[in-house]
Structure 1
Amino acid sequence: MPRRVYLAAYKTQCQFQNNGVRCTGLPVLKRLHCHNNTLPSTYFIGYSNWQYQEKCHRYISINENVDCNLLQQLLDRTYEGESNEPVNNCYTVLYNSSKKHIAVTHPHHTSNIIKQGLIVRKTCNIKYYRLIPLDIKSCPYVIFLSKGIHSYPPPPPNRVPDTICNRLQELIYQANDNTSNITSTRIITGNLIKSYFGTEYLANIHDSLNNIDHLRYYINKIQKEIHPQGQELLGVIYNYSRNINNICDYIKRLDI
Structure 2
Amino acid sequence: FKEERKVLGVKMCEFASKELDVDHISVDFASSFFKNIFNANEKFFEKATLCTFAKTHEYKCGYVDQNGIRYDGASKLNEFIQVIGSIASKKKFIGCAKWHFREKNYRYLTIPNNVDLELLEIMFDKHFYHPRGIDFEKDESDIIEECFTIRPNSTRSDEFPFLHKVGDCIVKRIVKKSTACPVKFYYIIPKNLKECPFIVTISIGQHNHPSPPS
Q: TM-score range by the shorter chain?
A: 0.3 to 0.5
TM-score for the superposition, normalised by structure 1: 0.36
Bigger relative contact order (CA 8 A; separation at least 6): 2
Find the structure with the greater CA-based Rg: 1
The structure carrying a bigger strand percent of its residues is 2
Pick the structure with more helix per residue.
1
